[in-house]
Amino acid sequence: MTSTVYSPGTVITSAWLNDVDNRVYEDIINIKNAPFNAVGDGVADDTAAITAAILAAAILAGTGANRTVYFPCGIYKTTGNHTIDGHNGLKLLGDGPGRTYIRLAHATNDLFYTASNATTNIQIQGFTIKSDTVTRTGGWIFNVNTVYNGGGAIQKSIFSDLEIQTQVNGLWFSKYEFVTVKDVIIWNMVGSNGVGIKWGQPTVSVPLGAEGYMTNVQIYGNDLFGGAYTLSRGVEIENSDAIYMLSCSIGACLDNDLKIISDSPGFAASNMFITNCVFDTTRNSHRVWVTGGGISQHCLFTGCWFASAGRDPGGSTTANGVRIDVNNGNMFTFSGCTFFNTNGTGLYFNSAAGGISSISGCTFTSCGVGGVALNSDGIYLHHPLNGVGFSITGNTITVGVASIRTSATTNRTCVTGNILNPPAVYGIPCDVGTNTA
C-alpha cells in the first residue's frame, strides 16, 4: 500500500482511492468523511480538511474520476489561502446559500486562488461565505493571483449560487477567458475601497481576458436595509474585452456601480453588452463611469435603469448617471434606457477622440437636480470638431437646465424625433430635425 501526505495530519492512501464507502456517489469527496473529517460546526478549524480534500480531488483527476468536493450542510471555518491552481475540472459544491457556510477567519487571506498555471473548468457553487468572527481588511473570495504578463489564467469556469457578505472584496478574474458568474448576491460588505466583481487589472501592453458573463448578479454596497455604504465599486472592468451583463442589479456603492477603465493610449476595454440591468444609487461619483487614457468602444446598454447618482445624503452634486470621459470613446449605444434622479447630468459624454454613438428610445427625468452650472442637463456631448458624431432619436428628455447641451466643437450630430423640455442648447449648429417641446 502506498500513501501520500497532503497536509499536516492527513494521509491519503491507495486504499482510500479504491474504497467507495469513504466517498459519496463514488467519485465525489464528502469533506466530512474520513480521512478529511471536517467538522462543519463553525468552531473547529477545517482549513486542513479543505486543503486535503482539494488535493485528493486532484489525484482523482489523474485517475479520470470525478473531481467534486462536497460540503454538506454546515459551517466550515477556515483561514483560507486554498490554492486550486492547475486543478482542472475541480468542483466545490455546497448545499446552497443559507445551508452550507464557509466562515473565513482571516483578515486578509484569499479564500481560493489560482496563480501561474492556466486553470480550466472550475466550478464553485452553493455556498454562503462570510466572516463573522474576524473583521476583514483585504483579500478576495476568489483571485487569479498573477501579474498581467504571467502565464496563469482561469478559463471555461463557473461561479454560481453564491452569497458573499462581510468581505472587503468579492471575485477578481485578473486573467480569464470564458468565465461565468450567475445567481450570485454580494452584500453587507466591510471597508470602503472594495470591489464586488473585478475583471482584468492594470497593464500597458496585453489584453487581460475575453468573454466574461454575469447573469442575475446582485451587488449592494450596504446591508439591503440601508445603513452606511461600504463598497467602493460594484463591478470594475479594466483593460478587458467582451463582458456580458444580463439582468443584474447593482447599487448603493460609495463611488461607482460600474467602472470601465482603459489605462493606456491605444489599449481598449471594449465590447461590453449590458442588458436589462439596474444601476441604482451612488454617493461620491457616477453610477457608470468609463474612463482612462486608452480606447473604449462597442459598448451597448439596452433596457437599463440608471438612478440616483450622488443622491445619498452628502453625495456629490456633480455625480452623473453615466459619464464617458475615456480618451477615445467610440460606438456607444444606449437603447430603451431610463435616466432618473441624478445630481449631475444624466448622460455626460466628454471624449478627446471618438463619437459615433447612438441614443434612442431613452427617458430622462429628474436629472441635473444638483444645480451645478453646466452639469445640470439631460445629455451633455463633446467630441472634436468634425468628428463623426451622435444620433439622438426618439427620446423623452424633460429635465434640468437644458435637455441636451453640446460643446463648442460638437457638430455632425443628428437630433430628431425627440421630446425636449427644456430646449437643447447647442454650442455649434447640429443637424436638428423635428423635435417636440
User: Is there a domain that residue 437 lies in?
Assistant: no
Say yes or no: 41 and 118 in one domain. no
Q: pLDDT by residue (tens digit) across 356-368?
A: 789 999 999 999 9
Compute the C-alpha angle 230/235/239, nearest 5°. Answer: 135
The per-residue pLDDT for range 25-64, each reduced to its tens digit, is 446 899 999 999 999 999 999 999 999 999 999 887 665 5
Helix, strand or coil for residue 308?
A: coil
Domain boundary, last residue among 10, 39, 66: 66
Answer with the residue of higher pLDDT: 77 or 19: 77
Pair 197, 249 in one domain: yes
| Same domain as 124, residue 55 | no
Does the residue 369 lie in any domain? yes
Identify the pLDDT of residue 207.
Answer: 59
| Contact predicate 73/95, CB 8 Å | yes
Task: Assess whether 59 and 79 both reside in one domain.
Answer: no
Task: Say whether both 62 and 154 belong to one domain.
Answer: no
In a shared domain, residues 48 and 145:
no
Boundary-marking domain end, from 66, 100, 121? 66
> Does some domain include residue 172?
yes
| Partner residues linked to 256 by β-bridges | 233
Let me know if residue 341 belongs to a domain: yes
Q: Which domain holds residue 130?
A: 67-432
Residue-level pLDDT at 205: 62
Does one domain contain both 407 and 294? yes
pLDDT of residue 25: 40
Q: Are residues 344 and 319 in the same domain?
A: yes
SS3 annotation, 48-88: HHHHHHHHHHHHHHHCCCCCEEEECCEEEEECCCEECCCCC
Q: What are the distances in angstroms from CA 143 to CA 68, 128, 205, 423?
A: 20, 17, 21, 49
Alpha-carbon separation of residue 313 from 49, 96, 252, 306, 344 (angstroms): 47, 36, 12, 18, 15
Q: Pull the grid cell for residue 150.
A: 504571467
Contacts of 226 (CB under 8 A, 6+ apart): none
25 with 164, same domain: the answer is no
Calculate the dihedral angle through the C-alpha atoms of 124, 234, 381, 400, rounding to the nearest 10 degrees. 140
Residue 33's pLDDT is 94
Res 384 pLDDT > 90: no
Distance from C-alpha of 401 to C-alpha of 425, rounded to nearest angstrom: 9
48, 105: one domain: no
How confident is the model over 407-433, as pLDDT tens digits?
Answer: 998 888 899 999 999 999 999 877 787
pLDDT digits (tens, 9 = 90+) for 129-155: 999 899 999 999 999 988 777 778 999
- Tell me, yes or no, whether 145 and 182 share the same domain: yes
Burial status of residue 162 (CB atoms within 10 A of its CB: 0-12, 13-18, 19 or more): buried
User: The domain that contains 227 carries what CATH number?
Assistant: 2.160.20
Would 339 be classed as within a structural domain? yes
Domains: count for the chain: 2
294 located within any domain = yes
The per-residue b/e assignment along 64-103, b for 16 or more CB within 10 angstroms, e otherwise, is ebbbbbbbbebbbbbbbbbbbbbbbbbbbbbbebeebbbb
Q: Among 45, 66, 87, give the residue marking a domain's end.
A: 66
> Do residue 50 and residue 100 come from a single domain?
no
In a domain, 146, yes or no: yes
Q: Is the pLDDT score of 333 beyond 80?
A: yes
